[in-house]
Amino acid sequence: MEDDFNAIHEHLTAQTDDLVVVPIFGMCNIGKTTLAKKVYDDYICSQFDKHAWVTIFKEYNERQMLLEVVSTITGSNQEMSDDQLMKIV
């Protein structure tokens, strides 16, 4: 897992003006979430003032995902429209 962690870290720290997307994919139960959480805990949390960890399930609910992100970022559970939530995110 350390090699994968280092490869992802290199992608995230590369100097570029382009949006970088780092997919993590594979068979069930091989450690994808564990790897992503390690990157998040060890790198993302220390490099950014605002960050959120959201788990998205097969039954994807955009509003619920936005509510979780905004709640994590702002600490507020205030009722908002989808447009307001997207603007904050």
Domain map of the chain by residue range? 1-49, 52-89
pLDDT of residue 36 exceeding 90, the answer is yes
Q: Output the pTM of the full model.
A: 0.70
pLDDT band (50, 70, 90) for residue 41: very high
Average pLDDT over residues 37-42: 93
Question: Rounded to whole angstroms, how far apart are CA atoms 89 and 74?
Answer: 10
Share of the chain above pLDDT 90, in %: 21
User: What one-character-per-residue DSSP string does the chain give?
Assistant: -HHHHHHHHHHHHS--SS--------STTSSHHHHHHHHIIIIIHHH-SS-------SS--HHHHHHHHHHHHH-------HHHHHHH-
Question: Rounded to whole angstroms, how far apart are CA atoms 62 and 54?
Answer: 11
pLDDT of residue 35 exceeding 90, the answer is yes
Q: Can you give the pLDDT at residue 19? A: 80
Average pLDDT over residues 17-25: 85
Question: Rounded to whole angstroms, how far apart are CA atoms 78 and 68?
Answer: 11
